[in-house]
Amino acid sequence: MRQGDLLKVTWGQISDLAIERKTGKSRGRRRILVAVIPALRTSLDEIPRRAETVLTNSRSQPWRGFGSSWTKAMNDTWPDGHPEHNLHFHDLRSTAATNFYRANFTIREIAEILGRKEERIERLIDRYVKRDEILRDRIRRFSGAKT
Protein backbone atom coordinates (compact mmCIF):
# COMPACT_ATOMS: atom_id res chain seq x y z
CA MET A 1 0.00 0.00 0.00
CA ARG A 2 0.98 3.59 -0.33
CA GLN A 3 2.16 5.02 2.95
CA GLY A 4 -0.90 7.25 3.27
CA ASP A 5 -3.27 4.33 2.70
CA LEU A 6 -1.39 2.07 5.09
CA LEU A 7 -1.54 4.63 7.90
CA LYS A 8 -5.32 4.95 7.43
CA VAL A 9 -6.19 1.24 7.54
CA THR A 10 -8.88 0.68 10.15
CA TRP A 11 -9.69 -2.49 12.02
CA GLY A 12 -13.06 -2.50 10.27
CA GLN A 13 -11.34 -2.88 6.89
CA ILE A 14 -9.74 -6.16 7.95
CA SER A 15 -11.66 -9.41 7.61
CA ASP A 16 -10.51 -12.98 8.18
CA LEU A 17 -9.38 -13.17 4.55
CA ALA A 18 -8.34 -9.67 3.44
CA ILE A 19 -7.63 -6.03 4.04
CA GLU A 20 -9.85 -4.08 1.68
CA ARG A 21 -9.99 -0.32 1.30
CA LYS A 22 -10.44 2.38 -1.29
CA THR A 23 -7.20 4.10 -2.25
CA GLY A 24 -6.64 7.71 -1.33
CA LYS A 25 -4.73 8.71 -4.45
CA SER A 26 -7.51 7.47 -6.75
CA ARG A 27 -10.06 9.37 -4.65
CA GLY A 28 -11.77 6.09 -3.91
CA ARG A 29 -12.10 4.86 -7.51
CA ARG A 30 -9.72 1.94 -6.94
CA ARG A 31 -9.68 -0.63 -4.20
CA ILE A 32 -6.80 -2.44 -2.57
CA LEU A 33 -7.39 -6.09 -1.75
CA VAL A 34 -4.61 -7.66 0.31
CA ALA A 35 -4.89 -11.30 1.32
CA VAL A 36 -4.34 -11.86 5.02
CA ILE A 37 -1.68 -14.57 4.88
CA PRO A 38 -0.72 -16.33 8.13
CA ALA A 39 2.34 -14.10 8.78
CA LEU A 40 0.21 -10.97 8.37
CA ARG A 41 -2.50 -12.43 10.62
CA THR A 42 0.13 -13.08 13.29
CA SER A 43 1.41 -9.50 13.05
CA LEU A 44 -2.11 -8.05 13.16
CA ASP A 45 -2.96 -10.17 16.20
CA GLU A 46 0.07 -8.73 18.03
CA ILE A 47 -0.95 -5.09 17.44
CA PRO A 48 -2.92 -3.66 20.37
CA ARG A 49 -6.35 -2.31 19.36
CA ARG A 50 -5.98 1.15 20.86
CA ALA A 51 -7.82 3.16 18.21
CA GLU A 52 -9.91 2.83 15.06
CA THR A 53 -6.74 2.86 12.94
CA VAL A 54 -4.40 -0.12 13.10
CA LEU A 55 -1.14 1.83 13.23
CA THR A 56 -1.01 4.18 16.20
CA ASN A 57 1.56 6.01 18.26
CA SER A 58 2.30 5.42 21.95
CA ARG A 59 -0.57 7.78 22.87
CA SER A 60 -3.09 5.64 20.92
CA GLN A 61 -3.41 8.32 18.25
CA PRO A 62 -3.11 7.72 14.50
CA TRP A 63 0.59 7.52 13.64
CA ARG A 64 1.97 10.87 12.54
CA GLY A 65 5.59 11.46 11.60
CA PHE A 66 6.01 8.11 9.88
CA GLY A 67 8.57 9.60 7.47
CA SER A 68 10.92 10.62 10.26
CA SER A 69 10.50 7.22 11.94
CA TRP A 70 11.33 5.53 8.62
CA THR A 71 14.44 7.69 8.17
CA LYS A 72 15.62 6.94 11.70
CA ALA A 73 15.11 3.19 11.18
CA MET A 74 17.03 3.34 7.88
CA ASN A 75 19.90 5.26 9.49
CA ASP A 76 20.00 2.85 12.43
CA THR A 77 19.98 -0.18 10.12
CA TRP A 78 22.33 0.90 7.36
CA PRO A 79 25.16 3.42 7.67
CA ASP A 80 25.55 6.26 5.20
CA GLY A 81 27.12 4.89 2.03
CA HIS A 82 25.45 1.46 2.29
CA PRO A 83 23.55 0.63 -0.94
CA GLU A 84 20.26 0.30 0.96
CA HIS A 85 20.71 3.54 2.93
CA ASN A 86 18.62 5.59 0.50
CA LEU A 87 15.75 3.10 0.22
CA HIS A 88 12.40 4.88 0.24
CA PHE A 89 9.16 3.47 1.60
CA HIS A 90 7.51 3.63 -1.83
CA ASP A 91 10.29 1.39 -3.25
CA LEU A 92 8.73 -1.48 -1.31
CA ARG A 93 5.64 -1.46 -3.54
CA SER A 94 7.69 -2.05 -6.68
CA THR A 95 9.65 -4.78 -4.93
CA ALA A 96 6.39 -6.40 -3.86
CA ALA A 97 5.10 -6.27 -7.44
CA THR A 98 8.17 -8.03 -8.79
CA ASN A 99 8.03 -10.64 -6.01
CA PHE A 100 4.32 -11.28 -6.70
CA TYR A 101 5.07 -11.71 -10.41
CA ARG A 102 7.89 -14.15 -9.69
CA ALA A 103 5.45 -16.07 -7.47
CA ASN A 104 3.17 -16.47 -10.52
CA PHE A 105 0.56 -13.88 -9.60
CA THR A 106 -1.19 -12.45 -12.66
CA ILE A 107 -0.82 -8.83 -13.68
CA ARG A 108 -4.47 -8.33 -12.73
CA GLU A 109 -3.94 -9.81 -9.27
CA ILE A 110 -0.90 -7.62 -8.66
CA ALA A 111 -2.77 -4.52 -9.80
CA GLU A 112 -5.63 -5.39 -7.45
CA ILE A 113 -3.31 -5.88 -4.49
CA LEU A 114 -1.41 -2.64 -5.10
CA GLY A 115 -4.34 -0.53 -6.26
CA ARG A 116 -2.60 0.31 -9.54
CA LYS A 117 -3.65 0.08 -13.17
CA GLU A 118 -2.71 -3.13 -14.96
CA GLU A 119 -0.79 -1.14 -17.59
CA ARG A 120 1.41 0.35 -14.86
CA ILE A 121 2.17 -3.10 -13.46
CA GLU A 122 3.02 -4.41 -16.95
CA ARG A 123 5.52 -1.56 -17.47
CA LEU A 124 7.08 -2.21 -14.08
CA ILE A 125 7.42 -5.95 -14.77
CA ASP A 126 8.85 -5.29 -18.24
CA ARG A 127 11.41 -2.91 -16.77
CA TYR A 128 12.57 -4.86 -13.75
CA VAL A 129 11.73 -8.53 -14.17
CA LYS A 130 11.61 -9.32 -17.85
CA ARG A 131 14.68 -7.19 -18.54
CA ASP A 132 16.66 -9.21 -15.99
CA GLU A 133 15.38 -12.48 -17.46
CA ILE A 134 16.40 -11.37 -20.95
CA LEU A 135 19.86 -10.35 -19.75
CA ARG A 136 20.37 -13.64 -17.87
CA ASP A 137 19.38 -15.55 -21.00
CA ARG A 138 21.86 -13.53 -23.10
CA ILE A 139 24.62 -14.18 -20.58
CA ARG A 140 23.80 -17.90 -20.54
CA ARG A 141 23.82 -18.10 -24.34
CA PHE A 142 26.99 -16.04 -24.64
CA SER A 143 28.74 -18.19 -22.04
CA GLY A 144 27.82 -21.29 -24.01
CA ALA A 145 28.95 -19.88 -27.37
CA LYS A 146 32.17 -21.22 -28.86
CA THR A 147 34.69 -18.60 -29.86
Please tell me the predicted confidence (pLDDT) of residue 8: 93
8 Å CB contact between 44 and 14: yes
Phi first, then psi, for residue 46 (nearest 5°) are -85, -15
**H or E element at residue 21:** strand 18-22
In this predicted structure, what is the pLDDT of residue 147?
54
3-state DSSP assignment of residue 22: strand
Its pTM stands at 0.71
Intervals of the chain under pLDDT 70: 145-147
Give the pLDDT confidence score for residue 37 in this predicted structure: 93
CB 121 within 8 A of CB 93: no
The reported pLDDT for the residue numbered 80 is 79
Q: What local confidence, expressed as pLDDT, does residue 146 receive?
A: 64
Contact 57, 64 (CB under 8 A): yes
Task: Supply the pLDDT for residue 44.
Answer: 96
Contact by Cβ (8 Å): 79, 85: yes
What's residue 20's pLDDT?
A: 94
* Interatomic CA distance for residues 55 and 52, integer angstroms: 9
Domain range list for the chain: 1-65, 90-147
Check residue 127 and give its pLDDT. 85
